Amino acid sequence: MSRVIVIGAGISGLSSAYYLSKYIPPSQIVILESTDRLGGVIKTAQFGSASVEAGPDSFITRIPTVLELAQELELDSALISPATNSAYIYNNSKLHPIPKGTVFGAPSDLGTFFGNSLISLPGKIRALAEPLLAKANIPGDITVGKFAQDRWGKEVAQILVDPLVGGIHAGSAFELSLIKCAPQYFTAAKSHRSVTKGLNAMTMRAEKAAHPPFYSFKGGLTSLVQAMHQYLVTAGVTIVPNFSVWLIENTKDGFKVHGDNSTFESEKVICATPAHVSANLLKKISSRASALLDTIDYSSPIMTLLAYESNALSERPVGSGVLVPKPNKMLTTAVTFASNKWPDCTSEGEFLFRISSARHGDSRAWKLNDEALISNLEVELRDILATRARSIRSEVHRWGKSLPQFRPFHDQLVSRIRESLPKNLELAGSAYKGVGIPVCISSGKEAAERLKE
Ligand SMILES: Cc1cc2nc3c(=O)[nH]c(=O)nc-3n(C[C@H](O)[C@H](O)[C@H](O)COP(=O)(O)OP(=O)(O)OC[C@H]3O[C@@H](n4cnc5c(N)ncnc54)[C@H](O)[C@@H]3O)c2cc1C
């Protein structure tokens, strides 16, 4: 019997094991992973001679957990930042720079904001009226989309806020929690009658950051997973790949963790699987926790990688990429110009794109096979870039039920789930605190700290 079993070797499970190994002998820790690779949705694909991210492509530095981990793993010299961060919004068949004078899509400086080419004149005039509105009354929590629409009007909410905030979750801002998904707006609304002025005050107060806003690693995000893997194995942690857990049961001294052909026993367990998987695993341990976990909805984004001959593109795209708001009814939700953003990872003479599709509630892309999806996305890319070029290589990565959707009052739901779990059983993962890699690392760290005694 081991001390702790960690189920799932995504970044949350790996972090749980990493921080646990600081408190208990690593030989007492076992990680069970259902696939043959570590990292979960973190996957740097070998795409021709280039390395391109098939899942996440960078992490924010404002939350320092990845930087701390990188330093401990002596990976900090491999940190790289995007060569460009300037992005566009494609709307009504035109590319527009993301408006200046905004914070996460919301207007913060109306004078500067007024100069943008994206929002119509009536839309701008409506946004300009925000400082005249009464102080926002937020009854506990509401959706980001409703909040933005009430403050700055429908057009700003749909064309600007939704692609930025909803895009991170491959979801809709009109379904996502204000407190979880746009806490900046919530803080500004608490402190100021005008949210615009509150956001402006926040940008004025913001100290100069010590790091660029985003980082990745030379060789891609998989470098972090590989470094964690090597550290854990060297320390003596047991990692069991191709072990799909289907049930956890209580025993007199702890837990039995059942896979298809064998069972592991331990005193403590960390479930670092997606909430819908944990719901199944915990059915026997707590039917209430299981039912509550099952209410956490997920989106299923698809990442398509496309390579073009650079010479075939009529003009080289500018900036880091494009967001496509929902009213345009395209399959594409976002395009990363990978060759501009990460020039060191690209192949000579080629231009590489990452195209995201399949936001929550839109299953059109999932109904297409890879070939049909690629051909539809290529047609859309031709419109976005006004080019006639055809791709020379492509690859589709489907991430089914991978991004949790935080509905209003999510924190309260998570508290109820935790209250329904027995002692020595912890949850870690993107479904609880937040979806970004830095927050997943802190969720693993906190789970480890709760089980360290
Ligand atoms: C397409 C995409 C783009 C993203 N972009 C960014 C970005 O740019 N920046 C950023 O910070 N974040 C981004 N995210 C979010 C971030 O990558 C994820 O939230 C985070 O990596 C999730 O890690 P996790 O360990 O919680 O879950 P996962 O990565 O889902 O890991 C769960 C693990 O559990 C395993 N598992 C499942 N069932 C079982 C079972 N029954 N038994 C054993 N093991 C099991 C899985 O195989 C997997 O390895 C993105 C996510 C996606 C999907």
pLDDT in tens, 283-303: 999 999 999 999 999 999 999
Same domain, yes or no: 258 and 285: yes
Q: Could you say which of 205, 224, 255 is where a domain stops?
A: 205
In the chain, the largest separation of any two C-alpha atoms, in whole Å, equals 69
Q: Using the predicted structure, report yes or no on whether residue 200 has a pLDDT greater than 90.
A: yes
Same domain, yes or no: 356 and 394: yes
When pLDDT is averaged across residues 261-287 and rounded to a whole number, the result is 97
The residue type found at 216 is S
Number of domains in the chain: 3
pLDDT the model gives residue 207: 79
Same domain, yes or no: 225 and 311: no
Any domain includes 381? yes
Pairing status of strand 87-91 against strand 321-323: parallel
| pLDDT averaged over every residue in the chain | 96
Q: Using the predicted structure, report yes or no on whether residue 444 has a pLDDT greater than 80.
A: yes
Written as six digits, the tokens of 334 are 């976002």
When pLDDT is averaged across residues 387-391 and rounded to a whole number, the result is 90
Distance separating alpha carbons of residues 429 and 444, to the nearest angstrom: 7
Same domain, yes or no: 237 and 308: no
Position 365 confidence tier, pLDDT thresholds 50, 70, 90: very high
pLDDT the model gives residue 232: 98
Any domain includes 48? no
Any domain includes 244? yes
Same domain, yes or no: 444 and 390: no
Beta strands in 61-211 (DSSP E): 79-80, 87-91, 94-97, 102-103, 106-107
Position 205 confidence tier, pLDDT thresholds 50, 70, 90: confident
pLDDT the model gives residue 315: 87
pLDDT the model gives residue 367: 98
Ramachandran region, residue 101 (left: φ > 0; alpha: ψ -120 to 50; beta: rest): left
Distance separating alpha carbons of residues 155 and 245, to the nearest angstrom: 46
Q: Using the predicted structure, report yes or no on whether residue 59 has a pLDDT greater than 90.
A: yes
pLDDT the model gives residue 260: 86
Contact (CB, 8 A) for 429 and 275: yes
Which of 447, 397, 450 has the alpha carbon at shortest distance from 41?
397
Pairing status of strand 214-217 against strand 59-60: antiparallel
Cα dihedral 428, 56, 43, 328, rounded to 10, equals 120
Position 1 confidence tier, pLDDT thresholds 50, 70, 90: confident
How many A from CA of 373 to the centre of ligand 1? 23
When pLDDT is averaged across residues 378-400 and rounded to a whole number, the result is 94
* Each residue's pLDDT tens digit, 94-128: 999 999 999 999 999 999 999 999 999 999 999 99
Same domain, yes or no: 118 and 241: no
* Each residue's pLDDT tens digit, 125-169: 999 999 999 999 888 999 999 999 999 999 999 999 999 999 999
Distance separating alpha carbons of residues 431 and 440, to the nearest angstrom: 9
Contact (CB, 8 A) for 238 and 25: no
* Each residue's pLDDT tens digit, 70-86: 999 999 999 999 999 89
Same domain, yes or no: 196 and 113: yes
Contact (CB, 8 A) for 157 and 167: no
Give the CATH number, domain containing residue 229: 3.50.50.60
Domain that holds residue 386: 301-398
**Owner of token pair 């933005």:** 148
Helix (H, G, I), strand (E, B) or coil at 50: strand
Q: Using the predicted structure, report yes or no on whether residue 449 has a pLDDT greater than 80.
A: yes
| Ligand 1 pocket, CB under 6 A | 7-13, 32-35, 40-42, 55-59, 244-245, 272-274, 277, 301, 303, 399, 402-403, 429-430, 435-437, 440
Residue 93 CB neighbour total at 10 angstroms: 9
pLDDT the model gives residue 201: 94
Distance separating alpha carbons of residues 208 and 393, to the nearest angstrom: 41
Q: Which atom number of ligand 1 is nearest to the Cα of residue 439?
A: 11
What sign for the dihedral angle of Cα 216, 75, 41, 370?
A: positive
pLDDT the model gives residue 174: 98
Any domain includes 290? yes
Share of the chain above pLDDT 90, in %: 93
Residues in the chain: 453
pLDDT the model gives residue 388: 87
**Alpha-carbon separation of residue 245 from 227, 281, 311 (angstroms):** 25, 7, 49
Position 431 confidence tier, pLDDT thresholds 50, 70, 90: very high
Share of the chain above pLDDT 70, in %: 100
Give the CATH number, domain containing residue 316: 3.90.660.20
Distance separating alpha carbons of residues 431 and 130, to the nearest angstrom: 33
Same domain, yes or no: 394 and 305: yes
Same domain, yes or no: 146 and 288: no
Choose one of 435, 442, 443, 445 to mutate for the ligand 1 pocket test, by most ligand atoms within 8 angstroms of C-beta: 435
pLDDT the model gives residue 344: 85
Contact (CB, 8 A) for 270 and 282: no
* Each residue's pLDDT tens digit, 163-193: 999 999 999 999 999 999 999 999 999 999 9
Q: Which atom number of ligand 1 is nearest to the Cα of residue 246?
A: 41
Ligand 1: which residue has its CA nearest to atom 11? 436
Same domain, yes or no: 264 and 244: yes
Give the CATH number, domain containing residue 195: 1.10.3110.10
Any domain includes 46? no
Any domain includes 55? no
Q: Could you say which of 178, 205, 232 is where a domain stops?
A: 205
pLDDT the model gives residue 29: 97
pLDDT the model gives residue 114: 95
How many A from CA of 59 to the centre of ligand 1? 13
End-to-end CA distance of the chain: 17
Same domain, yes or no: 291 and 312: no
Name the strand (E) or helix (H) holding 13: helix 11-20
pLDDT the model gives residue 453: 76
**Alpha-carbon separation of residue 356 from 39, 40, 332, 373 (angstroms):** 20, 18, 6, 11
Same domain, yes or no: 263 and 324: no
